[in-house]
Amino acid sequence: MEVNKVTIHDIARALDINSSTVSRALSDSPRVAKKTKDRILKKAQEMGYQRNLLASNLRKNITNTIGVVLPRISRHFFSSVIQGIEEAAYQEGYNVMICQSLEQYEREKNIIETLAANRVDGVIVSISMETVDYNHFECLKSRGVPLVFFDRHCDIPGYNNVLIDDFQAGFDATQHLIEKGCKKIIHFSGPQELEIYKNRFEGYKAALIKNDLPFRSDYVIKTRLNEVDGIANTKKLLNDKLEFDAIFSANDVAAIGAIKCLNEEGIRIPDDISIVGFSNEPISTVINPTLTTINQPGVEMGQRATELLLKNIQNKKAPLKPETIILDSSLIDRESTGKSH
């Protein structure tokens, strides 16, 4: 008899007992005497019985699976968050289903609907750059599926979040440039509809105001924060002959683009222009010059988001109050703002 073909009915026939008794014994029901239970378990092992966990879990309305939706796995920050999620989920016996929105709202919406239809126990999300409408998350809420946002969150009440203080991080990055003697600081900003980029921008603005430096709207460049944009926007700034002595980019990728453009134009970094990025991507340590950046605790963010989600899954019958966890970020001082070798 093939291992995967053995059923509870086969075990019941072999022992000449009722199949419902076998089912109860295999589910460790107190309604079955220990002696009978031991007999059934021994026979099940002998016959190579394998329990159908999926069917069992569906009957209990659980799948032991959590869905994760994020913009791009290729970004080091997001892959480090996944590491934290998988570590925490594995310890609690949960599987992880990872999906990429690729920064597209429609794709994100379809993924959320698919995860809900597949009855995942909970979802962890970092929203796409295109996401300004949050109605698609309601299908999770209406089904009682717990949801935790991380990094890029929605500024709406009733949800759990695990974040860094993006305002403070934006302030620290700008303050660092000011302390290095910079006065005319360009900001490469992400879409202002997203809370994290709005908060990083507000931090930048607050640092200027605190240091009695004028805020200039023409110094704020709205961008999708990819490398091509970083190169193109820096080239445009130079062509427009706009005077500036620093760039604070809301991510490392656009900052790397700026470095490549300035290097090509023969502009010295940091002597002529200083640069600060955000996220501490691995490339920031190998680009020339190395990039000063804000470090985000990706692994810890993943672990804390998973712990918060599992806590909510385990308390579904008595829902918990929404919680927002703020983690510390730190500035890493490298050559692009004048740190010596």
* 47 and 17 within one domain: yes
Q: Which pLDDT score, from 0 to 100, does residue 54 have?
A: 54
Q: Do 305 and 158 reside in the same domain of the chain?
A: yes
The answer to the question of residue 57 being in a domain is: no
Contacts of 184 (CB under 8 A, 6+ apart): 219, 243, 244, 245, 246
Q: Give the Cα separation of 30 and 151 in Å (integer).
A: 46
Q: What pLDDT does 1 receive?
A: 37
- Indicate yes or no: pTM above 0.85: no
**Cβ atoms of residues 150 and 163 within 8 Å:** yes
Number of domains in the chain: 3
CATH code assigned at 45: 1.10.260.40
Expressed as residue numbers, the domain containing 128 is 65-163+298-328
Q: What is the pLDDT of residues 135-188, one digit of tens each?
A: 999 999 889 999 999 999 988 888 999 999 999 999 999 999 999 999 999 999
**One domain, residues 32 and 74:** no
Instruction: Answer positive or negative: Cα dihedral of 100, 106, 109, 113.
Output: negative
125 and 40 housed in the same domain:
no
pLDDT beneath 70, residues of the chain: 1-4, 52-62, 339-341
Residue 56 covered by a domain = no
193 & 250 share domain = yes
In eight-state DSSP terms, residue 188 is E
